[in-house]
Structure 1
């Protein structure tokens, strides 16, 4: 009876389980983290064990937790060592690719005695490397890659007992690579790449690691020769010594690495010849990259006999022929040999037996015909063969290669017609055939080239008319067909090319009138139709092309008046000479400086002396009266000036004069000009900008080059009547003009980077100071982005600007000793060269910071600009690199949204808060700049926007380092760059899409 009652009672009440001790520990781990993606959603206390929770693995018998894998969970918070180490059977822990921050607690880690695998890669950890991990008796795998660890590698790291994998890639480690690492005899992988180590040699002691399978020392500031002791690493499969300063020959003993699969030696200063023999022993070798060195001699035939997959030897001084045996490799997918002195013919069977994807043999001395079987396996994507002496016709088989997306055969000796099928390949984005002797016309099959963005046919013998089908290429950005024999009118369909940025058809035989509808070329930057037989009126619609800055219609038969609408344009180049134009010149262009733009038009009149022979004869009757009045006015003016000069000279000598002989010039580069050439050009006509720290002039030097000169506020008069008072705005920025000058000179005088504006020299005289920079034709990002010229900035250019600026700031933060904080990062301080390459500028408030200091350096007043200042800087006045990162995040948001950092439309918000609110309420489509055609780039723009939001995190510790920002932007830019990728678990370098045009430069 009692048993029956018990059964009834149990049936009435549900079972309640009590979570075990390890489950309770993991519940506390859960509370430790911010979990925006709900990774912990199934971590509930409605079970007696955590073994079925996401990321948790238990031993089947004891049901105790043995593994915790929280990789890529988007978690943020400190590493909970004190909790995890209480789970005695926990052997595997991975927090890979999260936002784990703070330092690692030494005292808590020592208790993780059972730990075998610890992966904390790609997080935000700081401080020095933890020493206690070296005392863990069972630890075999330690990966701390992609954090912000600093200081030297601790000496205790030479005492690991069972460690097999040590990953410290992409941190901020200092000192030289220590020899004691050669004591970890159990090591199989040693990964130290991308750290700013002190320059030093590769420790020969690393040759003692006879179990080593992977050795990555990429970009570690290594110098000297490669030690022969590395030849003892007979189990080594992957050797990466790229992007260092290694010199001397490649030691022949490396051919003893019989297990090697991949060798990376690119971008060093290695000299001498490749080892001629010994390669036959390296039967496992599949990939070798020794590019960007100073290697000489020939490519060993024994190397090409191996079943290679990838051979990169570009940018050396190699000569001789490419061995025929390379064509027999059954797995060869990549062959890059550009920028050498190689000659002879390419192997005829190249590509027939290999799944060739990329071939780049540009800028060599190759001759003969292009091998017909390059696309033998049907997977060829890039055929880059510019600047050689290839002859004969383009193989018809290339036209059947539908996988192709880039074809560059420019500057060779090719003849005959282009295969019809080649014109219409569906995936080709670039077709570059310039500088040959190709003939025939553009086939109508070009209608199928739906992805074509650049069609470059210049300097050939193409004939016939331009087909209507060209107007179907919606993605075409450039059409250059100059110096050919194209005939007939431009097809009316050409106005449908709404993305067109450059149209260059000069020196052909085109005739007829320009088609109607030119106003649809909204993105056209260059229009060159010179030296044809075009006629009719110049369309006034050209004045609607707001981003046009190059217009050349010279050498045609255009007639009628010059449209006044051309005055709407901001042109750097205008040429309407040698036509049949008549009437008056629009007032904006009726100046002597434009005279050459209108020569050879007999009916064209204006106020430019010598352009036309005169006005109506009736006007000549009044000329003598006008001349008399003018002469009298000049006499009165001369007398007045003479009197004023006598009175003024004494005052100027005492108060305002600056003797040019008193000027002192300090140069930071080899100069081709003197200070007097600069001083003589500082007049108001040359002013191109004015800011808080001074006025900026454009000075064109006698050699034709231009420089920008900043005259700091506070200068006395030079040749103008500028006020001598200093500007309070400069003082409000925390510095008078003397301090700003000192900061600028101290910073820019000693640093060199492609994305930092170059300071040529400075000139000083008493209280006046001049800074002479390289001239940036496209001005500042802020001026361009927030003006009516923002249409110039498509997404590809905006992404490039973000990357360039990020790399410049990363250099300041991570590669300068001591690190430099800019303190005024904003779009107006990012300048753009002629190709929209970005340079970080204006270092008037920059400060060097102590890399070992805590909390940053305290400033007396705030520096920076409204909308860009990090929130903590405003109330703590402590400066470190995190404040720059916040400001750069705002710049990224500007690039994506096209909006100012502060705007009345935002109300009390700034750009950061507006973006966050709009994203939450309306989505990303309401954030992206409406001027952007982003249909093809929406995913990429979203990734870049996320980087900007991460940089503008309210908590400084949650902002990534600039080195991490560069990496995240690289990963986001899949359209423009071949993404950085993990190849066999390894971070590989990335290259610009067009290797040959950029000399294959590693970005």
Structure 2
């Protein structure tokens, strides 16, 4: 009874306190001007109705109450800054914002719930210096009234849905240095002062401007020559628009221009020689236009780092001598893809002092590729796909004497199609950009669980994660060395740019670049983690907000050129404190002291609720970190990124972009916020795994990485959802390309290339993964093809990894797999071994040969091929082959390929080769390393030695090294010669 009476007293005091606060006059303690309070309250009502959970702590007086995101002048009477970057605001930007007439900074970026037109009342903010409305969802035109903001220095509206023409009144903003309207839907011509209807106002009046970022819109008309007279302009980024006409000759008027990006427009005519006189230029990109005539001499541009002229209509030309005359000492990347380049490639180009990437794909370069001279130590990539190169001379020799790894891509050149040329180059496979490998620290022993390890300090914490986009990088690919430079720059520049409002101090070991990749429009996307100082679990809300604000406002310059911050991967939340007037604090304290007792009563409930929330946010929240517990241990994920269900819904347009259906569930195509295409496999209810099983699969998939395995990007796990996010393979499955897309049949050489690459992926799973992985469902539908038809094995985690007593086996209570591909031995024993995968792979080999499914017409096609070969040899097999390749496969190739396929599909596993052996034999077939020592070749078919159509006396003869051989003459009794990997020659004697 006493306790009950005490609680009544406590409740009464609390009610009294609240009543007193409620009856206080709304403006009793106000210091802020009434117009500001009215405007802010109107915005709060709008944004709170759009997001009922929004809590901005806007209580009391704005200037005395330390409102979230609000800064006032020193007298605390007027609001001068409104900064709510990334606060999950939803609704419109009301005209009431025009009442904040003393505002100097308006920052509402990264609020994708902000929609509707921009109010013309923004033009009333005559003191505004920074207007940042980036990466929201605003629509409609850019208000002409913005031209009134003559104090403005920063204007960023990029990443919205704005439409219409750029208003000419923008030309009045003579103090703006940064103008970014990229990634919108602006159209029409750019306004300049010389237009008759412009009244002398246009973009060429913006004399302070340094940055014009207008890319990814629908701007049209000619590029006005007037803007090249702007005295401070350094970045002119106009790519991915609809500009037409010529590159203006007025480019020669530029005095400070560093970057020109006019790529992917509709520019025509000859390039003006005046362009080559702007010696301040570091990056020139004119790719994807219709430029014609001759390429001018760019050698006067002594600061040039990147030149991209690809995909234009130039007159045929030999490799330019001006590239080699010694003036381009800083040139890092040279792109001349599909530009009518003919003749031989001079080897001096490989010795350019700073050259990193040389992309000359899809030209008519012929002769031999000559690597007999010096090679620059900076060279990493040479792309020569789809040319006419027929030979290779020498090996890369470094002038510095240091070792290097030059990635040379020669796909679809005669040198790669000639099976008699040895040794075959690794670059004959289809080119694929290597993924960025972040720096690691092997000395770190911590297992961080739900937190993230900082490899610099070996400390676990919750970092701020940001996406940064380099909009005009000089390099083609981002390296570990680049990351170290940028990490130091970011830490130092963020610290030096901090102010009393945006106060933050970072050390280099707090910044870590976790991921990087080159986008399709030649930008570099970076995932950056910013860790707290050692001893803290996370950055404060103020620090996080300050870092984003400093980066967003471009308050420093980095050596990698202009950048953008497309999104914040965090929401700032409502962590700012609330400071009320002294009288209000007294009443709150009276109630708070007694209310503390009530809080104790809710403590147990709060703890229970918190655990529930944590489990909802992190499915592994209750799992032990690095040790076993009743729930097991947390998964150790090396690459996979967790996605929220809302992220995946947005990426797939609310699950509307279906790629296909399978037994596991539905596969969707998705586009992540950074522009990366992915395939998202969403499990159906019948396929949902338990948390233990899902954890095991994630661990397995996240640590397996190989060129011929589909990469796992991330995952989503909720109580009713399991999703796996993979890299997107644009050319679909091998199955689709064999007999579902018959309009473009695959050539024999392409099929062989696909088969070999799939074998390499499987061999990695069997013999190099630790523990070994048995796929369990090899079929043509699980061999995916990227944009260059590079084959990658998918779904390799579904079979799981098992090694029992040194044997690679899996035991199964029920038979799982796909009809036509099932190993008969597995069907009988329920024991799935690595040889079961070999059997299924052999079926795929037959499938590639016939162009039909394994059970086409109700028949076992593999058995049908075996019977035909046993009865009539190759003559019996030819009628069963895909008609599109039936007459194109040479007999020796067909024979060796067929023998290998039949060995793979032997009835019992002991008669089948390993996948590593399969890879070696296939590489032997295409002219690569055979791995066969001198001796006879014994072929097993149907479990016994069989006399083949060609004699089994083929052997490696110890002869001198030769890169030439006789041409085979099928059916005329001539020997077939193949140069051996050790300098010998394999001879197959026809019977």
Length-normalised TM-score, structure 2: 0.41
Length-normalised TM-score, structure 1: 0.40
